[in-house]
Chain A
């Protein structure tokens, strides 16, 4: 997994509306990139909604938010529409972004091997340097913790 000090990789993918988004395209602004295993998992997860609710505060601190998973554009679109998510959700179907950040984990459970994404968040400075990494994210309070880190930059 990429660590603080690394440059943001030159990668991108289509968002939920089919627009090509590259992470280096955000240079000049702070950027929060959060990886999640799957769009709309069956359960109560607050992470994406938290980023949605705090988006204005992130914007006031000159920070953009981007979510990434390996879901398709269609799944991301459905997810965004269902929860009113008002920032790009990248459909990293080729796994280029996930691979570049090193958030892919191979799991061996109950006789089945599977590949998944470790829920993790990266804060990137306006010059394109990763300045903070949350390698394992829990459900609550995460959005606020990231916002605090953004404000302290």
Chain B
């Protein structure tokens, strides 16, 4: 029966960028765009949730760069470049903390700051080395039918309210207590 809920099409797997224990009772999957201002607003909210829920919450981030954001695709590719050196989350944080400075020169600067090789990033961006990985993440979001960015899935079900701390923590509390969305 169709319960009207939108579900995560691609389960969390070994290729995902994950923070928190794999057996956490609640998993938050975000489809985000590093240039999307609403994702920028949600960024500190997710950070606060991580602090407050600790081991009870696992966080996953997947890129969903929108065409209307000129720098989002390169930013996502830079994050994947950083992931190869196990620095995905550092780059993720840096990008969200500098949403309005995502030119290639900025991205190279962030790489330098994270002790990554800016020359290698420049080549990777030019040759779109990481575009296929980003595209795969985006296709997963399309497959799920996400309405826009940010899109948050809590235990595989799309969270449809505004992504405020109150709304998200309320839903997480409910899941911790009842074990499911209903």
- Tell whether, in the assembled complex, residue B170 and residue A110 are in contact, meaning their CB atoms are under 8 Å apart: yes
Which residues of B have CB within 8 Å of A109? 5, 157, 160, 171, 181-182
Contact B3 A41 (CB under 8 A): no
The 8 Å CB contact of B148, one of A45, A107, A108, A111, is: A45
A12 contacts B by Cβ under 8 Å: no
Instruction: For residue B61, give the distance in angstroms from its CB to the closest CB of chain A.
Output: 16
Chain B CB within 8 A of A37 CB? yes
Q: Roughly how many angstroms separate A136 CA and B145 CA in the complex, as a whole number?
A: 7
How many interface contacts (CB-CB < 8 Å) are there between A and B? 85
> Does chain A have a CB within 8 A of B147?
yes
The tally of residues in A whose CB lies under 8 Å from a CB in B reads 25
CA distance A136 to B9 in the complex (A): 13
Chain A binding surface SS class: loop
Q: Is B53 an interface residue (CB 8 A)?
A: no
Q: Are A107 and B4 in contact (CB under 8 A)?
A: yes
Query: Is A44 positioned at the interface, with any CB of B under 8 Å from its CB?
Result: yes
For A44, list chain B residues within 8 Å (CB): 33, 36-39, 66, 68-69, 148-149
Q: Which of B4, B160, B162 contacts A106 (CB 8 A)?
A: B4
A138/B141 in contact, CB under 8 A = yes
* A46 CA / B178 CA spacing, docked (Å): 35
Instruction: Give Cα A127 to B83, complex, Å.
Output: 54
Interface centre among A44, A107, A108 (most CB of B within 10 A): A44
In Å, the complex CA distance between A135 and B104 comes to: 39
- Which of chain B's residues 77-109 have a Cβ closer than 8 Å to chain A? none
Are A138 and B146 in contact (CB-based, < 8 A)?
Answer: yes
**With A107-B3, A116-B160 in contact, do A43 and B174 touch (Cβ < 8 Å)?**
no
Q: Which of A103-153 contact B (CB under 8 A)?
A: 105-111, 116, 118-119, 136-141
Binding site for A on B (CB under 8 A): 2-6, 33, 36-39, 64, 66-69, 138, 141-151, 157, 160, 162-163, 170-171, 174-175, 178, 181-182
Point out residues on A near B: beta carbons under 8 Å. 37, 41-47, 49, 105-111, 116, 118-119, 136-141
Query: Please, could you name 7 A-B residue pairs with CB atoms under 8 Å apart, sorted by A?
Result: A41-B147, A44-B66, A46-B67, A47-B147, A107-B5, A109-B171, A109-B181
